[in-house]
Amino acid sequence: MNKNRKDGKYIKCEDGIHAIMPYLMEKRCEAEVYTKDTFDITNLKKWMDKQNKQLDFKMTYFHALSSVFVKILYNRPLLNRFIQGHRTYERNEISIAFVAKDTFTDKAEEKMLVITTNDDEDAVDLAKRMVNNISTTREKGTNSLDNSLKLLTKMPRWLLRIVVRILRWLDYHGWVPSSLSDDDSNYATLLLSNLGSIKCNSCYHHLNNYGTNSIVITIGTVYEENGRYYVDISSTLDERIADGFYFAKSLKMAKYICENPKLLEEKLSSKIDIDF
């Protein structure tokens, strides 16, 4: 019997702890681990400022940090796993999701964007795609997920409850239609929240039981102290996909990339051959 899903390959856990965890902690929200850390991004800022002198668009802190985390996902493959249906899967691709608002006003609509990474692109390539996707979505005023959700919410309450239960059942088996899952942040490898863009500190952000997303990162406001630049990063992860030691080494690698941003000029998929 084929246990693979359309979005992931089934992984048989070798150790008993990780094999039993999806049954002891059935819901993703029951297996959350949270950490908050401060990143020194002085060198990253210098590198970004240098890049912006020769680019035809503006690379922001959010673009640069997104590239840092994408490079981590390539180098730390266990982070690109998820648990659904009491089974562990390795994703077929790496994707990041984030929210884009039309304007920074209370009534402005939020649009969720999901970008699948390209093995051949570097940080500048990814940043340009992010800028273009945001611009295109704002021009259209909607995307396929928005249209599907608006259609669902027009249903009477009793019918919508039935439809959602069916969706959860399909989600358990990996059968949710691509028209609903492809642009849904709940199915992205990494959900990023750029709280710094609204002058807010990083904070805890919950995971969702629906979908496959196992990592959420919030990015705070960049600030200066004694001539150096820092940003607070908060991370929430599903502890069932790896252990604390693996997560800790991943954060150390992220800080290393911020200190050595020339690595972002290479393909984001290229490996960092350093023992952390």
pLDDT in tens, 224-244: 999 999 999 999 999 999 988
For residues 141 and 37, which has the higher predicted lDDT (pLDDT)? 37
Give the pLDDT confidence score for residue 24 in this predicted structure: 92
What angle (nearest 5°) sits at the alpha carbon of residue 92, between those of residues 87 and 95? 105
pLDDT at position 103 over 60: no
Give the pLDDT confidence score for residue 112 in this predicted structure: 84
Give the pLDDT confidence score for residue 17 in this predicted structure: 84
Give the pLDDT confidence score for residue 123 in this predicted structure: 97
Q: Where are the domains of the chain?
A: 8-265
- Is CATH 1.10.3720.10 the right assignment for the domain spanning 8-265? no
Q: With bands split at pLDDT 50, 70 and 90, how would you rate the model's confidence at 105? A: low
Query: Of all residues in the chain, what percent are helix, strand and coil, respectively (each to 5)?
Result: 45, 20, 35
pLDDT in tens, 160-174: 999 999 999 999 999
